[in-house]
A and B are shown apart, each in its own frame.
Chain A
């Protein structure tokens, strides 16, 4: 048995092809990216030169970077909480309210999760639109006599980010609802019964029993949602192209523009590294709430 499982040639054959691809196209670029951060100008151009830590120093004075970071933070706050809280509400609805057609309702709620992000972005552009024709939202508002609420939802800086967050909550809440519903089903029925006998009302049941039991999986949901939203790129590009102005320009988009439009390879690499670290440490931070008590 172990003679077969120690076959060195087989191990090499099994590991090496994937290992090479993964190393060259995923690991090396990360290291390379870190190396680029010490250089100024565009790679391959005559201005490409070693400048030490200048790119890092620049990060702290860059107002555009600060603005992009602010956009990202606001977006993460709105979207993460929205996705997980609506997911939780839906899960509770599945468990306690939906009596008939349960699996059909859950199937429908999961629909938006499987849609391609760019397609959803294009669809919502048409939902929020005001020019040349009213989109779905504005025409509905007008149709029910709320014409004074008609608004260029993604054309104005004050609502664009909220409109984007609403779209991304719509897409992902079904995902979290299914995960949390699975966790709710795992809670033994006698715990709920005992709570009912003890005279728990709905809020006490939720606050004292369900919430503590769901806590680990809720944190997992937050980590998932956070690592997804920290990368904020596709949906924002598809819905608003980062606009109006820079109202929805995220870190990833700013990095992309810095690298490929403004051609500052080294500086863009600093931003890329920052996104990576934000992703890792943010997830760690959320996990830190997972204390055993």
Chain B
């Protein structure tokens, strides 16, 4: 009697176990698909050129050939590009946060005619593709002496970030209770102290979201820098990387992988350190939209 009853139960349990194993395999496969290319990149960045010739591409690196990084950083100019990108990105981030904070505050919390119009005016830019502005921008820059200058690139980085950042911050700004502002006025705040001591600290999380997403956009920029910059001492990471193999020789795989790794690593580090904030920041636009 007991054996008869136990049999189907065993079968069911076995079925569940087979299902769980299959699910685990699928999950593992997904993880592999996402991780393996990155692993391949780092591994290949330490290979000697000889390894690329004799071993298949999937083989692990047999040496720790740091020379690839040295080559790409110095002879390949990656050091220069990296510094340019970091400088342009950080300087524009300061102004992006400042401008989008003050603009969204003026649009949402302050009282004046025309703020409805200006809200729409600032929102318009979200839909504008970079490609559409590129030709006139090139003409403007050529005529004003901003072409091929760091200042020019930083200015357009700031300008192109305002729409989206104001849009994101406005959402958080609306949620900021008016009572807090009122209390601060009673305590003797004027508009500037209120902005600096009350609003800015309360908007900290929202501002971090803006910084994260704009850091990603600016670090990633290719169109502006390849159109508005011509001298290689001012080029940024992505432009440099794009033409790296043309200038450095397409057979020098080690150095190419090293430069790709150099470009990828800051983003990965930021992501690993600020995991939740990065995910929130990058998906904020879609969820709010």
Kindly state the interface size class of chain B when it binds its partner.
Answer: 35 or more
B34 touches A116 (CB 8 A): no
Which of the 9-residue segments A60-68, A103-111, A187-195, A207-215 touches chain B?
A103-111
C-alpha spacing A24/B100, complex, angstroms: 17
Kindly state the interface size class of chain A when it binds its partner.
Answer: 35 or more
| A204 interface contact, C-beta 8 A | no
- How many CB-defined contacts (below 8 Å) exist between A and B? 270
Given contacts A15-B118, A36-B136, A133-B57, contact A109 B182 (CB under 8 A): no
| A8 interface contact, C-beta 8 A | yes
C-alpha spacing A136/B128, complex, angstroms: 38
A105 touches B159 (CB 8 A): no
Chain B residues, Cβ within 8 Å of A2: 111
| B64 interface contact, C-beta 8 A | no
B283 touches A178 (CB 8 A): yes
A17 touches B136 (CB 8 A): no
| B202 interface contact, C-beta 8 A | no
B129 touches A116 (CB 8 A): no
| B263 interface contact, C-beta 8 A | yes
Which of the 9-residue segments A51-59, A74-82, A154-162, A223-231 touches chain B?
A223-231
Chain B residues, Cβ within 8 Å of A126: 44, 57, 253, 256-257
Max chain B C-beta neighbours (<10 A), residue from A105, A230, A283: A105
Given contacts A22-B125, A256-B131, contact A122 B283 (CB under 8 A): no
B139 touches A43 (CB 8 A): yes
CB of B151, distance to nearest CB on chain A (Å): 12
C-alpha spacing A270/B249, complex, angstroms: 37
Chain A residues, Cβ within 8 Å of B256: 122, 126
A111 touches B35 (CB 8 A): yes
| A163 interface contact, C-beta 8 A | no
The contact of B267 among A24, A114, A224, by CB within 8 Å, is A114
B23 touches A178 (CB 8 A): no
The contact of B27 among A17, A105, A136, by CB within 8 Å, is A105
| A88 interface contact, C-beta 8 A | no
Interface string of B109-143 (1 = CB under 8 A from A): 11110000010011011011111111111111000
A109 touches B105 (CB 8 A): no
| B90 interface contact, C-beta 8 A | no
Given contacts A25-B137, A33-B135, A123-B41, contact A108 B110 (CB under 8 A): no
| B160 interface contact, C-beta 8 A | yes
Interface string of A171-196 (1 = CB under 8 A from B): 00011001100100000000000000
| B156 interface contact, C-beta 8 A | yes
| B67 interface contact, C-beta 8 A | no
Chain A residues, Cβ within 8 Å of B125: 22, 26-27
B137 touches A118 (CB 8 A): no
A119 touches B264 (CB 8 A): yes
- Nearest chain-A residue to B38 (Cβ)? A111
A132 touches B251 (CB 8 A): yes
| A28 interface contact, C-beta 8 A | yes
A112 touches B34 (CB 8 A): yes
A123 touches B37 (CB 8 A): yes
C-alpha spacing A4/B111, complex, angstroms: 9
Which of the 9-residue segments B3-11, B190-198, B203-211 touches chain A?
B190-198
B238 touches A109 (CB 8 A): no
- Nearest chain-B residue to A32 (Cβ)? B136
A97 touches B133 (CB 8 A): no
B181 touches A5 (CB 8 A): yes
Q: Which residues of B (17-68) have their CB < 8 Å from a CB of A?
A: 23, 26-27, 30-31, 33-35, 37-38, 40-41, 44, 52-53, 56-58
Chain A residues, Cβ within 8 Å of B176: none
| B102 interface contact, C-beta 8 A | yes
Chain A residues, Cβ within 8 Å of B121: 27
Chain B residues, Cβ within 8 Å of A117: 220, 222, 238
Chain B residues, Cβ within 8 Å of A115: 264, 267-268
C-alpha spacing A136/B44, complex, angstroms: 10
A143 touches B58 (CB 8 A): yes
**15 contacting pairs across A/B (C-beta < 8 A):** A5-B109, A14-B103, A18-B100, A21-B159, A33-B132, A33-B135, A111-B268, A127-B37, A133-B53, A136-B57, A140-B58, A143-B58, A178-B279, A265-B135, A273-B132
Instruction: Give me 8 other A-B pairs in contact (C-beta within 8 A), A28-B136, A272-B135 excluded.
Output: A10-B110, A15-B106, A25-B137, A135-B57, A170-B33, A174-B34, A224-B286, A237-B222
**Minimum-distance CB pairs A-B, first 10:** A18-B99, A25-B159, A14-B102, A29-B133, A32-B136, A29-B136, A139-B56, A139-B57, A14-B106, A21-B159
B: residues with CB less than 8 A from A are 23, 26-27, 30-31, 33-35, 37-38, 40-41, 44, 52-53, 56-58, 99-100, 102-103, 105-106, 109-112, 118, 121-122, 124-125, 127-140, 155-156, 158-160, 162-163, 166, 181-182, 185, 189-192, 194, 216, 219-220, 222-223, 227, 237-238, 241-242, 244-245, 250-251, 253, 256-257, 259-260, 263-264, 267-268, 270-271, 275, 278-279, 282-283, 285-287, 289
A: residues with CB less than 8 A from B are 1-2, 4-8, 10-11, 13-15, 17-19, 21-22, 24-30, 32-33, 36, 43-44, 90, 93, 97-98, 105, 107-119, 121-124, 126-127, 132-136, 138-140, 142-143, 170, 174-175, 178-179, 182, 220-221, 223-224, 227, 230-231, 233-234, 237-238, 252, 255-256, 259-260, 265, 268-269, 272-273, 275-276, 279-280, 283
